[in-house]
Amino acid sequence: MRVYLDNASTTPLDTEVIAAMEPFLKTHFGNPSSIHSHGRESRSAIEKARKVIAELLNVSPSEIFFTSGGTEADNSVICGIVHSLGVKNVISSRIEHHAVLHTLDHISSQGLANIHYVNLDEKGHIDYGHLAELLNQNPNSLVTLMHANNEIGNISDLEYIGNLCKESDSYFHSDTVQTVGHYVHNLQLLNLHSMVGSAHKFHGPKGIGFMYIRGGLKIDPYIHGGSQERNMRGGTENVYGIVGLAKALEICYRDMNKHRSHIENLKTLLISKLDGQLDGVSYNGDSANLEKSNYKVLNVCLPESPENEMLLFNLDIGGVSASGGSACTSGSNLGSHVLKAIGADPERGAVRFSFSRFNTEDEILFAAERLSELYVTSQE
């Protein structure tokens, strides 16, 4: 058996998504900027996709812009707001994805704005009192805080943060890459100026994402070139990606309750099996709390053991694909910046399991056994 439990890193394509993309891979190849019928066919598919996404998020299609994914979207929005809107202070947290943190490092190194980091509590949640203080001291800031953390799954309260931002006339951007397609975002109910999504995190294709930018916010493009995306992002559009993105999101919204309860059951099952089979196991951040964490992520904190060195390797040999911290940084031997920022014990191993609607209970039982037997073996 080979089990894939790394869905926060990327997800398999849904066959309905492949079917929707197929004509645009095979026959509908026109450049959407061309005015002939081949071009118009592609243009029409893009605008249809934009409308689908806008309706699901309850915004206007003119507020959706396609990008190559979450990283580009975060870079574009954050740099755009700082460059174009005269923002001199940015408030964020140390557990954001590198798509945000490294963008902020760049902004800081260029002297474009001061970066302030909000304190986190012992579970890795935002200290909202400190956020309010920072906003009091720095009105007219940009706040960039993610919805759900990709490593520990902790969920932030977008409504509450949005209201704090409103009181201090600040802009609010959220990296929603881990929650788009898995939670409903009704943007009419949130004081959010921008958010981003990435199709490969919800069974769509890789290399395509979007940014929502609230109407009326005039920010400069990040990628200069042709007049695509209403002058906000130069470059010929990834038509089949855009079609696949919209289809994937449509499916997620159509079946969200069913997917959610299936995945929540898998997460609960894994927690109960590990609690029963593995002495000294606990969970990083608040990932075992179903109310306060993303239902598709469980970050397991393992006992001190020589086994921790080769943990992911041995799980892989045993047939389980999972990751340690963020998969986006795998390949680098720097530890997880998230676990470090929340003060996790470096001597204890960490493995992030992340689930999808395609996982089964048998796969969860298999993974729990493979992980537990590694530790039993090393203690014997």
208 neighbors 242 (Cβ within 8 angstroms): yes
Supply φ then ψ for residue 64, to 5 degrees.
-110, 130
By CB under 6 A, tell whether 150 contacts ligand PLP. Answer: yes
By CB under 6 A, tell whether 294 contacts ligand PLP. Answer: no
Which amino acid belongs to residue 317?
Answer: I
295 neighbors 263 (Cβ within 8 angstroms): yes
Minimum Å gap between C-beta 278 and ligand PLP is 27
- Kindly tell me which residue out of 42, 198, 287, 354 binds ligand PLP, with binding defined by CB under 6 A: 198
- Kindly tell me which residue out of 45, 158, 177, 351 binds ligand PLP, with binding defined by CB under 6 A: 177
By CB under 6 A, tell whether 209 contacts ligand PLP. Answer: yes
By CB under 6 A, tell whether 146 contacts ligand PLP. Answer: yes
By CB under 6 A, tell whether 328 contacts ligand PLP. Answer: yes
Positions 234 through 273 that interact with ligand PLP (CB under 6 A): none
By CB under 6 A, tell whether 367 contacts ligand PLP. Answer: no
Q: Which is closer to ligand PLP, CB of 30 or CB of 181? A: 181
168 neighbors 140 (Cβ within 8 angstroms): yes
Q: Which is closer to ligand PLP, CB of 30 or CB of 70? A: 70
Q: Which is closer to ligand PLP, CB of 57 or CB of 281? A: 57
42 neighbors 261 (Cβ within 8 angstroms): no
Give burial (CB, 10 Å; 0-12/13-18/19+) of 246: buried
End-to-end CA distance of the chain: 26
Which amino acid belongs to residue 225?
Answer: G
Angle at which helices 361-379 and 256-277 cross, to 10°: 20
Q: How many CB atoms are closer than 10 A to CB 251?
A: 20
182 neighbors 295 (Cβ within 8 angstroms): yes
By CB under 6 A, tell whether 99 contacts ligand PLP. Answer: yes
Nearest by Cα to 273 from 155, 353, 346: 353
Active site residue 328: yes
Positions 60 through 89 that interact with ligand PLP (CB under 6 A): 69-71, 74
Q: Which is closer to ligand PLP, CB of 8 or CB of 91? A: 8
**Binding-site residue total for ligand PLP (CB under 6 A)?**
14
By CB under 6 A, tell whether 6 contacts ligand PLP. Answer: no
How many whole angstroms separate alpha carbon 346 and alpha carbon 246?
41
- Kindly tell me which residue out of 41, 63, 175, 237 binds ligand PLP, with binding defined by CB under 6 A: 175
Minimum Å gap between C-beta 252 and ligand PLP is 16
Minimum Å gap between C-beta 6 and ligand PLP is 11
Edge-to-edge strand ranges of the sheet holding 282-283? 282-283, 297-304, 348-354
Please provide the size of the chain in residues. Answer: 380
By CB under 6 A, tell whether 97 contacts ligand PLP. Answer: yes
> Where do contacts with ligand PLP occur on this chain (CB under 6 A)?
69-71, 74, 97, 99, 146, 150, 175, 177-178, 198, 209, 328
* Residues belonging to the active site: 328
